[in-house]
Structure 1
Amino acid sequence: MSAAGGLFRWGVGRRLSAAGGPSRRGAGSGGRRSRAALAVWAALVVAAFAAGAVLRARGALPIDRLPPLHGRLRTPTAALLPPLLLAAAAVAVLPGLAVRLRFGQALAVAYGTALTWTVLLAVSGDGLAQPFTSRYEYLAVLPAVGDDPLGWLASFTERLPGYPTHVRGHPPLPVLVLWALAEAGLPGPFWAAVLAVAVGCSATVAVALTVRRLAGEESARLALPYLALTPAAVWIATTMDAFFAGVGAWGVALLVSGGRGRGRVLSGAAGVLLGALPYLSYGLVPYLLIPVVAAVVARISHATVVACLAGAAAVTAAAVAGGFLWPLGVLATHAEWAADPGAARPYLYFLAANLAVLALLTGPATAAGLARTPPGGVRALVAAAVVAVLALDVSGVTRGEVERIWVPYAVWIVLAAASSPGRWWLAAQALTGLLLQGLVSSPW
């Protein structure tokens, strides 16, 4: 190890060691701000559930049993013991490993922790693959694709009213991804779940790489434990929105890592991934603000921008050549949404309640971290994700059922949690995930 590398690890290690227990800084203004933020976080969550219970009792929310969540209460069981033990071990050792290991090894450990945490949470409930067995999910339409994916794509908008709920609410690419998975010899709910979880958890690595590029390695190392033990893991297992989160995160990571020569290939790949987002979910259009902000902060070259745009244009060209016009898809899906009972949900309630769900996905440490002002590069990424969420929220097309919709955004917003010193905050994140998994039965 070089002297410079040793000094770097020593400096980061001191900071993380100081963060290992209750921090003396908590007695200062930062601690007061964190406590105030935590109070706001709790008040928002409690108020959303209380108002939701009143509205449901009055018949205003007939399709939601536990507003603002689209799920129902359940009793925790002993099946939560494995994820509880993992969380306890991770809280104890992961912050130290994040600084002591080489950065690549730290990324691998964080990814392994995220993957194990997510799978154990899913298995403790209804099982890893269960959400993909629903007749409302994407797999239900694969027989209609058959051996003619291009023909199916060309007729997608025309035949949209006859498809399952999730297919009607999204562009055609999620179905084609699962069709390709089945054609590769990995059919069925289990492999769909494996894809969603593996790609979704990989956002931990992609986001950390982006932070390293924009804010330095120390910030990336500090963020790793919070990325790995995010409460959003409850809905990363298992929904296709987790797959969307991974695709988007890697698109941003490749964009800011691009450069000359081979880097141009990475930039083109970033364009393909980011260009695919609107074809995975219409709700990911505001997400594109995140790579724009990342590109500005990283000061990427004009050539990198051109390569990225070329990759994105190739995705659009392929969709058009296949017979799918994105604007017509938006109009058709909006018509289906307007006729769905979900469109009758009260706008003003979900305007605030959706943010309460986001608070649950990102956890109390994120609220505390936002009050402490994250480093510049991290702050820019978090702000971009928050603005994107607010744009979707205000639009009114996300009235409930945002547990899964917010996942691609939550993996960026949770970066703010790294500004909260002390393992107690990391434990609070894990506890939030355990409570959500143990108390709420979700269809995803």
Structure 2
Amino acid sequence: MAQRSGLGTAAPAAQSRETGGRAGRGALAGWAALVAGCFAVGAVLHGLGVLRIDHLPPLHAHFRVLTVTLLPAAAFAVVAVRNLPRWVGRGGFRRALFIAYGFALAWTFLLAISADGPAAPLTHPQEYLAVLPSVGQDPLGWLAGFTERLPGYPTHVRGHPPLPVLVVWASAAVGLGGPLWAAIEVILVGCSATVAIGLTVRRLAGEAAARRALPYLALTPVSVWIATTMDAFFAGVGAWGVALLLLGRGTTARTWCAAGAGVLLGALPYLSYGLVPYLVIPVTAALLVRLPRQAVLAALAGAAAVTCAFAIAGFSWLAGVAATHAQWAGDPGAARPYLYFLVANVGVLALVTGPATTAGLVRAGRHLLRCPAGGRVPLPGIVSAVPDLARRHGAAAVVAAALVAVLALDVSGVTRGEVERIWVPFAVWIGLAAAYAPGRRTLAAQVVTGLLLQGLVLSPW
């Protein structure tokens, strides 16, 4: 007999259980050691006064203890772990996507209301809504003078391009103003990444793989920051950009979908400067499906249209990058120790994606490279395995692309702390790896991680 391992290939059942068990235990131990080590070193650095602005490093947060208010989320988690894999595994795929999206919304909302509610993070005076009075009724005039007026804006506005402010301004202009409506918008769009990534996985690896991934996408620990950091909105926009790039039947539909994907993906650098490496993900997906030339051109045209629109309106992206970098260089965050956060940022990524993701990455790597537990893989073996990985495991390839993007940002040194929110658009993709180690225990480990993060971490986002 053979069994399916994670998102892909068959392996002898007894050997798979033995190897997978050892690899899973080792992965969990490594995950715990990395996370605990980052917090331990961070506590020492904070005690020495090296990290004054971070009270719970590597997180930009404080410690707290939630009790009874977390019970509704905990009760929901029990129901979700027991039933969600079964419910998304049967019936039509649209039904499965709808169920997964519903669970993602409920999980995210219940986590948020266990503390101060979903709108609370967006009421902070350094958030995007605080600058809306300066936009007034002239968004184009505000956009044209954005770079020159940057030093006088709140922290989050100074650290980002102007599009996030324009998004919340547009919502207010149609009668959906205020932090509550902004929070609802962020959660709806952020949780929709579950659907978009599910569609992408089905296109790359088949429907069975997508169904296995949906519970992990819906119940990801990073949901703590999907409610409600604006980076969750970025995650939804990026995920739908990738999905639309691969959707469409027939030449006409595919071209229009690709053009829409180009608009969404072209908007990412105007939502956050740090999302430029994110574009490795759609490029990888396009290469895997051998996107037709006409669709490629349509996507490039859509992205170019976004760039032209901002340029005509008077905003230079390069000038914005330079101005933001100048602001960042003078901020206390730039003085954080590079070497600590080089490692600690990876620890935060492991934390927000959960232990099942680490276990899935280890299990997938050993299986794909045909490496026994505890064995060593020579470099030529890794190199020769890459094309095979991309050909037979498209979902794993986009996970790898997301990891490359994160590592590029990490090494650059511009992400020194506060990455629990910055990693959100990447974490929703990397979390796909958890489906390589499927099971009720691994899904339970994910929701327990989310509950502990919500219950013990007081985050400004």
Identify the TM-score tier after normalising by the shorter chain.
over 0.9
Q: 1:182 corresponds to which letter in structure 2?
A: A
Which residue does the alignment assign to 1:322? 313
Which residue does the alignment assign to 1:19? none
Which residue does the alignment assign to 2:235? 245
Q: Is the 8 A contact 1:65 1:72 kept in 2?
A: yes
Q: Is the 8 A contact 2:5 2:436 kept in 1?
A: no
Counterpart-to-counterpart distance in 2, 1:25 and 1:409: 33
Counterpart-to-counterpart distance in 1, 2:45 and 2:354: 25
Equivalent of residue 38 in structure 1, options 21, 28, 36? 28
Q: Is the 8 A contact 1:25 1:31 kept in 2?
A: no
Q: CA deviation at 1:328?
A: 0.2
Identity, in percent, stands at: 67
- Alignment root-mean-square deviation, CA: 1.5
Which residue does the alignment assign to 2:378? none
Counterpart-to-counterpart distance in 2, 1:264 and 1:304: 5
Q: Is the 8 A contact 1:242 1:408 kept in 2?
A: yes
Q: Is the 8 A contact 2:112 2:118 kept in 1?
A: yes
Which residue does the alignment assign to 2:274? 283
Which residue does the alignment assign to 2:423? 406
Equivalent of residue 192 in structure 1, options 182, 187, 204? 182
Secondary structure of the equivalent of 1:100? coil
Counterpart-to-counterpart distance in 1, 2:194 and 2:16: 27
Q: Are positions 1:376 and 2:366 aligned together?
A: no
Equivalent of residue 341 in structure 1, options 332, 345, 352? 332
Structure 1: stretches of 5+ with no match in the other structure: 1-10, 17-22
Residue correspondence of structure 1 range 32-431 to structure 2 within 5 A: 32-258=22-248, 260-373=251-364, 376-431=393-448
Q: Is the 8 A contact 2:212 2:438 kept in 1?
A: no
Superposition misfits of 4+ residues, deviation over 6 angstroms: 23-26
Q: Are positions 1:438 and 2:455 aligned together?
A: yes
Which residue does the alignment assign to 2:385? none
Please say which of residues 33-42 and 325-334 is displaced more in the overlay.
Answer: 33-42
TM-score (normalised: structure 1): 0.94
Structure 2: stretches of 5+ with no match in the other structure: 7-12, 366-391
Q: CA deviation at 1:99?
A: 1.0
Q: 1:282 corresponds to which letter in structure 2?
A: Y
Q: CA deviation at 1:389?
A: 0.1
Cα distance change of structure 1 residues 337 and 266 upon mapping to structure 2, 3 Å threshold: same
TM-score (normalised: structure 2): 0.91
Counterpart-to-counterpart distance in 2, 1:147 and 1:76: 42
Q: Is the 8 A contact 2:267 2:303 kept in 1?
A: yes
Q: CA deviation at 1:72?
A: 0.5
The alignment covers a number of residue pairs equal to 427
Q: CA deviation at 1:207?
A: 0.3
Secondary structure of the equivalent of 1:101? coil
Secondary structure of the equivalent of 1:28? helix
Counterpart-to-counterpart distance in 2, 1:399 and 1:132: 22
Which residue does the alignment assign to 1:8? none
Counterpart-to-counterpart distance in 2, 1:226 and 1:171: 31
Q: 1:102-144 deviations in whole A, cap 9, x for unaligned?
A: 1000000000000000000000012110000000000000000
Q: CA deviation at 1:27?
A: 4.2
Q: Is the 8 A contact 1:365 1:425 kept in 2?
A: yes
Q: Is the 8 A contact 2:122 2:183 kept in 1?
A: yes
Counterpart-to-counterpart distance in 2, 1:212 and 1:77: 39
